[in-house]
Structure formats: structure tokens, C-alpha cells
Amino acid sequence: MKTLVVYTSQTGFTKRYAKWLSERMEADLFDLKDVQKKENSFFDGYEAIVYAGWCMAGKVVKANWFFDRAKNWKGKHLALIAVGGSPNDNPDVEVAMQNILTDEQRDYIKAFYCQGGFNYEKMSLPSKLAMKAFVGTLKKSKDEKERAVASFIDHSYDISDIKFIEPVVAYLQGGSVA
């Protein structure tokens, strides 16, 4: 199946997943910056299109580009990959993923979550400041769990693993959105 993988990545985790997936699927791989202004005809030849973006405050960065285009791609296999700092088994991930697509989008797009990590060395200054403010609030929380989250995310870590692309591969090879 001729597959296209498009990604947006700030610190490299999403790019890594997009690369793993493109190698596995023998797909074409592009940074969104290089394809976002392409004519519709560029995408016509692809039977499957995947957009991978990093999570920011429960949303997938630049996902609107994919959602706008995907309305015209309903005959293709479409997947959205959200890459975040939270572990896959974090209950907040399940809640966030339930809200990532509308009911209508769920008919033709399948969404997946892949755990990435945090890389403060590569993060932009606005992102670093946002994280500093968020961690500061969590550290002051009365809730012990929130304080534990704060000490988990206040430094760089890498929990990415190629195994998390397997459900995406199965979907792209197998078929339906169900």
C-alpha cells in the first residue's frame, strides 16, 4: 500500500516514530513544513496517509492541517499518531485520546498514542517556560499524585520504543477503522 507519513516534531521523538513507521511500511516520509502547501494532487497517489504530531496540553500540534485535508481523503486509510511525554498506560492518555477525534472523524481516521518523553535540551524557550510553570503548579499541589507527576516530568527522559508502532502497522496492513 503506497503510504505517506507526515510529522511535526519539536525535540525529535515524533520524528523518530515517523521514521520507524515509514521504514517499516516502506512509506514516503515528510516534515509537515515541506508538504503543507502542496496541491491536493500530490496526495492523490497515496492509499494511506499518517499524520504524527506531538501532544501539547492534550492536543496534537498542527493536527488541524490533517483534519482539514482528511475530509477529502475518506477513501484512504488515515491514521493520526499522538506522541506525548505520558506513559501509554497513564489513564489521562485514554481520556485525552477519546477527545482527540470527533465522532464524525472517527468514521474515517484511526488515532494512536505513542509514548515519547521530554528533551529539555532541544525544547524551545516558550515550551520550556510553559513546562516550568506547569511543573511549578503541580509541585505545590495538595494531591500527592500530582506532586509525583511533577518530579517525573521536571527533567529529560526517553520512554519511546519501536514496539508502539505495531498497532499502527496492524491497522495500515489490515484495514478498517473499527
Ligand X SMILES: Cc1cc2nc3c(=O)[nH]c(=O)nc-3n(C[C@H](O)[C@H](O)[C@H](O)COP(=O)(O)O)c2cc1C
Binding site for ligand X (CB under 6 A): 9-15, 54-58, 83-86, 116-118, 123, 127, 130-131
Task: Report the nearest approach of ligand X to the CB of residue 168 (Å).
Answer: 16
Q: Which is nearer to ligand X, 13 or 171 (CB)?
A: 13
Show the cell assigned to 3: 503510504
Q: Which residue has the cell 517499516?
A: 24
Distance CA 18, CA 3 (A): 12
Task: Report the nearest approach of ligand X to the CB of residue 141 (Å).
Answer: 16
Q: Which are the contacts of 81, defined by CB distance < 8 A and separation ≥ 6?
A: 14, 17, 18, 21, 50, 51, 52, 53, 111, 112, 113, 114, 168
Q: Which is nearer to ligand X, 73 or 116 (CB)?
A: 116
Distance CA 17, CA 7 (A): 9
Task: Report the nearest approach of ligand X to the CB of residue 176 (Å).
Answer: 27
Cβ-based burial of 65 (10 A; exposed 0-12, middle 13-18, buried ≥19): middle
Q: Which is nearer to ligand X, 22 or 86 (CB)?
A: 86
Task: Report the nearest approach of ligand X to the CB of residue 151 (Å).
Answer: 16
